[in-house]
Each structure stands twice: as structure tokens, then as C-alpha cells.
Structure 1
Amino acid sequence: MDPNLQLWRAEGRSFLQRFRLWADVLDPLLLVASSEEIRRSRLFIQSNGKTLSEPIHNNQMKQAFLLSLSSVHPDTNNVIPVLFRPPAFLPISLPLVIVSSLQLQARNAFFCQFVFHTYTTGFTLINGNGSKKAEEYSVQQKQVFYGLGAIAYAACIGAIPIFFMNRYTLKSPLTQLVIRKLLPAPLLGLMCAFTVAVVRSPEFENGIEVMDKNGKVVGVSQKAGEKAVKETALSRAALFGTAFFLPEVFMYFLRRANFVKTPRALASVRMMMITSVLTGMLPVSLSMFPQCGEIKRADLEPEILSCTEETELFYNRGI
């Protein structure tokens, strides 16, 4: 089992443990590390041969693991491109979320959401499960085609409220509230989950590798792949749906209270709210489910049941 998955299994069993670990892994300063530093960190971890049965107290080992968790794919052992590493997700997605939340023309809204979904879909593809079976089809033209189709569809759906507001005169305050303020959040969350499911569909179509507690691969499971994709899609929907919804609720009550009167000040407060919610929700959403996923033996395919007597098996959930 890869050291990254070993660490997640040892120190990421509870939500609070995962949250604290993700809060450290998402440090943007980890992005400045060179490929040589990452390679040395991996060698340091492997040379120490730590079983990770106990929490890490050595600061040098902890820093090496943080660099490994933030930069290396646990299935392929490849260094992840800088723009698609977990610490880069917030700095890149935040301005895209802010721009996508603006009440723009439908054409501009479509473009902004297209760029947003392009980045998040690329992030999902690169950080998904990359076991040996998955590598065989991860770059197939069909998967790229599906991804582009999902991006275009998600951008169109996201621009629908703007299209209706611009094309039709909506006189009812309730209708304006629903279309302008309430509808975009669930739409964005739903489309983020949709793109995750589409781009990682080969994982539940062809299966992903499952391992025993010693890290030995015992088979390839479609059910484990389905579970991994479902959990990732739910966490992504929670992240961006909340990042759209909570600021709008806060701004609604702020306008009702008449605390901030000028449009420029309202825009600044709204931007700060989106930044705060997205920053707080990112480690929360990533911590919703274990990174080293667990699946009961009874839930697996019959051909895997005959290969092991382990009651629980493990897999890389992906991000």
C-alpha cells in the first residue's frame, strides 16, 4: 500500500482527524517545492519504513508526508502537475466561483462556468483513482469526449437562470428570489457532482483495485469504484453548493437589515463571504469520506470473495 494511503488509513479514521490533516495538506506554500524535494521526501518516507500504526510525532517525517500527500498520486506514484495539486485547488477555483456567481449576461455566464467546470473536471480526472487497471483507459478519447460533453452541458445548465432573467420580465418578487438567489446554488452543486460522475465513469464501469490490510491487491471491483465516485461526487456538490448558497442567505439578511447600503460595499462583503465559505468548506468537503476508502467484503463481487477472507478491503477514493 502506498505510504499516502497508509497515512490516511492510520490518521484519517475520524472526520476531525481528516479535517486537521487536510488543513495542513492544503497549505499553498507546499506548491513551491521542487520535484527534487518531493522525490527526496518520498525516499525519506520509504527509507524509514514506518508502519504508521501510531500517530507521527517527528516533525521531519510529518513535513515529508505533507509534501507527499499534496504532490504525489498514491496509485501511480507520479508527481501531480502543480495546477492540479490539492493546495492549488482553492487559489484557482475561488476566482472562478466568484466570477461565476455574478449576474452577467447569459453568454458571459456560460463562458465563466465553462472555464470553472473545465478546471474542476481536469482536477477530478488527474486526482481520481489511478490503479493499474484504471491507467489502461484513463486517457482514452472516449473519456476526454465525455468530459468535454459534461463541461459544456454543466455550463449550459448553470447559465439557464441568467438566460431566463435576461429574456423574460420577472415581476414576482418570489420568482426573482428563486431564480436569482436560490436556484444557482443547487444547480452548481448538481453539475459539479455530474461532471465528477461522468469523468470518472470508467472507474465504476471497469472497476478499481481493492487491497487487504497489508496492501496486497486482491482484485478489481466495480462496486468499490461506484462507491468511490459516489462519495467524491457528493463531497464536490456539498463544497460548491454551500459556497453559493450560504453567501446568498447572508446577503439577503444583510440587505433586509440595511447595514450596508452602497452596491460597491455589498459586492465587497459578498466576495468576502464566498471566500470565507469556500475556504472553510474545502477541508470539510474533503473530510466527509475517508481518503483510504473501506468496503465490506460482503459488498464485493463473488470473484473477489473467493480470493480473500478479509472482512474489510481498502481502495483509493481519489479527490
Structure 2
Amino acid sequence: MDPNLLYWKTEGQSFFSRLQTWFNLLDPALLLASEPEIHKAHTLLGKLEDLNKEDEAAVTLSLSSVHADSGAPLPLVFRPPAMLPLAGPLFLLQNYCAGFNFAHRNRSSEQQGAKTSLRQLVLMAGTVSYTTCAGALPQIFMNQLNVRSPPIQNFCRSVLPIPLSAALAAFSVFAIRSEESETGIQVFDQHGNLVGISKAAGKQAVRETALSRAALFGTTAALPHLLLLLLKRTRLFQRSPLLVAPVRHVSAVLLLGLMLPVSFSLFPQLGTIKREELEEELQAGAAGPHLFYHRGL
């Protein structure tokens, strides 16, 4: 089992411990580290038995920069500390999120020698196109039906985008990482020994990640809208309606930054699955009531 996963096994089983860790891992300064520094930190993490303050920098660098299946440094733009600076401006958001989901998938199939299929790359491109077009559905709906009713216009512009954002974020994860559900991912026993490949664990990993991403973008879409509803009642915003657009954008970026560690902490990086939920052929060789898998991000 990769040193990153072993760390999450001992330190990341409670929500608040994961939340505290993710606040450190999302520091943009970590993007300045070189690949030799990242490799050194990852190697050091694998040798550590008892962590001290001097080792915390290496641990943080390894967790934020190394994929927990392959042990290789993640692409710079898809490392967790890069998500807010790149996704915050909200330009090409669906393209970036699809790439982020793909970079942080479980790579069990690649560990077995398989390469990313053409089908998966085509599915990724199709997901980007579909989610980008689907995000414009409320406006398309109003234009095509020539909607003039203020209540319906307000619903399409303010309310409908909230569940739509959450649904599209979850759909992107399900589509980009569908291969994990179909071929399975590696599961380990409590000692870190490989037990086998489980489709049940793959489905659970993808489902948990999709829920965390839906929570991230659903909340980011909902709370700025509620904030503006309150602010529009004040004299300042009634006199200066041009303030609405910049406040909406700034509040969305700030909330995205706050929700990132919360979303990443909702489920453990090293997930657990009950032995009886595994395939029958794996249950016989599994020791203990629970097994572990890399959820991805």
C-alpha cells in the first residue's frame, strides 16, 4: 500500500482530522515544489514511523502532490492546491473539473498494466461538452419558450442552477470514472496487503466522490444566491444594482475556497468496505470484517 494511503489510514478516519489536514494541503505555495523535492518527500513518508514537526512539511508535500496509486507526481494544474486558483475564476470550469476528476481517479487498472482506453478519453470529451451545454439549459429554456413571466424567469435564473450544478458535478464524476465501477479497483486488508480487484469497492468509491463533488458545487451555487437575496434588500444595493454581479462572483469564489476542504473531507481517502459487500471470490481470501481501498479525489 502506498505511503500516502498508509498515512490516511492512521490519521484520516475522522471528518475533523481530515478537514484540518486538507486546510494544510490546499496551500498554493506547495505548487512551487520541484519534482525531486516531491519524490524525496514521498520516499521520506514511506520510511517514517513516528511523525514529528520536522517531518510535517514532507508529509504535506507528499499528500498534496503525489498520486496514491502510482506514486508519481500529479500534473501541476491538477494538484489539489491548484483547484481554487484555476477553478475560482470560473472560466472553462467544466473542462477543468473533468481533468481534475480524471487525474485523481483510482488507477488500479494501470497498476495491472492496462492503459487509458480510447473509449475513456472519448467519454471524457463528451462529458465536458454535455456538462457545458447542460449548464446553459435554463437560459436556453427561457429563450426557446419565450418566457416572459418574472416568477418563472427568476426560478430559471436563480433556483434551477443550484440543483443543476450539483447534478452536473456528480454526473461528471460518474462519467469520467465509470471504468472503476466496470473493472473494479484494488482492495487491501488491514495490514496493507493486496486482496484483489473489486467492482463493489469501485462503485462505492465513485459514488462517494460524486456525492462530495455535488456538495461542493451545489453549496457554492446556493449560498451566494441566498446572500444576494438579503443584500438586495439593503439601501446600498437598491441604489447601486451594478454591485450585484461582482458580489455574486466574489462570494462564489470565497465559498468555493471554504468548501474545498469540507468537500474533500466528507469521505476518507482510504475508504472501507464490509467484507460481506465484496464479491464472493474475494470474501474467502479476505481477513477481517473490513477491507480498504483508495477512493480517489
TM-score grouping bracket, smaller chain normalisation: over 0.9
Unaligned runs of 5+ in 2: none
Contact 1:134 1:202 (C-alpha < 8 Å) held by counterparts: no
Contact 2:70 2:111 (C-alpha < 8 Å) held by counterparts: no
Letter of the 1:81 partner, please give it. Answer: P
Which segments of structure 1 move beyond 4 Å, counting only runs of 4 or more? 132-138
State the distance in 2 between where 1:135 and 1:173 align. Answer: 57
Contact 2:271 2:292 (C-alpha < 8 Å) held by counterparts: yes
What does residue 190 of structure 1 align with? 167
State the distance in 1 between where 2:93 and 2:165 align. Answer: 10
| Percent of residue pairs bearing the same amino acid type | 42
Letter of the 2:159 partner, please give it. Answer: L
Letter of the 2:178 partner, please give it. Answer: S
State the distance in 2 between where 1:172 and 1:165 align. Answer: 10
State the distance in 2 between where 1:144 and 1:136 align. Answer: 18
Using the TM superposition, give the Cα deviation of residue 266 of structure 1 relative to its aligned residue in structure 2, in angstroms: 2.1
Contact 2:65 2:79 (C-alpha < 8 Å) held by counterparts: yes
Using the TM superposition, give the Cα deviation of residue 309 of structure 1 relative to its aligned residue in structure 2, in angstroms: 2.5
What does residue 265 of structure 1 align with? 243
What does residue 46 of structure 2 align with? 46
1:239 to 190, 193, 216: 216
Using the TM superposition, give the Cα deviation of residue 161 of structure 1 relative to its aligned residue in structure 2, in angstroms: 1.0
Deviations 1:83-136 (A, max 9, x none): 01011011111111xx5xxxxxxxxxxxxxxx3211111111111101245665
State the distance in 2 between where 1:138 and 1:290 align. Answer: 27
1:147 to 124, 129, 133: 124
State the distance in 1 between where 2:235 and 2:271 align. Answer: 47
Contact 1:297 1:305 (C-alpha < 8 Å) held by counterparts: yes
Unaligned runs of 5+ in 1: 100-114
What does residue 111 of structure 1 align with? none
What does residue 200 of structure 1 align with? 177
State the distance in 1 between where 2:287 and 2:191 align. Answer: 13
Report whether the alignment pairs 1:76 with 2:70: yes
Letter of the 2:194 partner, please give it. Answer: V
State the distance in 2 between where 1:138 and 1:29 align. Answer: 32
Contact 1:76 1:130 (C-alpha < 8 Å) held by counterparts: yes
SS at match of 2:232: helix
What does residue 214 of structure 1 align with? 191
State the distance in 2 between where 1:254 and 1:134 align. Answer: 52
State the distance in 2 between where 1:26 and 1:149 align. Answer: 29
TM-score by length of 2: 0.95
Deviations 1:162-195 (A, max 9, x none): 2233444433232112101011121121111111
TM-score by length of 1: 0.88
2:273 to 272, 276, 295: 295
Superposition pairs for residues 1-319 of structure 1, below 5 Å? 1-48=1-48, 50=49, 56=51, 58-96=52-90, 115-132=92-109, 136-137=113-114, 139-260=116-237, 261-319=239-297
Contact 1:134 1:203 (C-alpha < 8 Å) held by counterparts: no
Using the TM superposition, give the Cα deviation of residue 279 of structure 1 relative to its aligned residue in structure 2, in angstroms: 1.0
Using the TM superposition, give the Cα deviation of residue 277 of structure 1 relative to its aligned residue in structure 2, in angstroms: 1.1
Using the TM superposition, give the Cα deviation of residue 6 of structure 1 relative to its aligned residue in structure 2, in angstroms: 1.3
Letter of the 2:35 partner, please give it. Answer: S
State the distance in 2 between where 1:312 and 1:229 align. Answer: 18
Contact 1:243 1:278 (C-alpha < 8 Å) held by counterparts: yes
SS at match of 2:116: coil
Query: What is the aligned residue count?
Result: 296
State the distance in 1 between where 2:127 and 2:250 align. Answer: 30
CA, structure 1 residues 138+17, in 2 after alignment: closer, same or farther (shift >3 Å)? farther
State the distance in 2 between where 1:118 and 1:276 align. Answer: 21
Using the TM superposition, give the Cα deviation of residue 257 of structure 1 relative to its aligned residue in structure 2, in angstroms: 3.3
Calculate the aligned-residue CA RMSD, in Å. Answer: 1.6
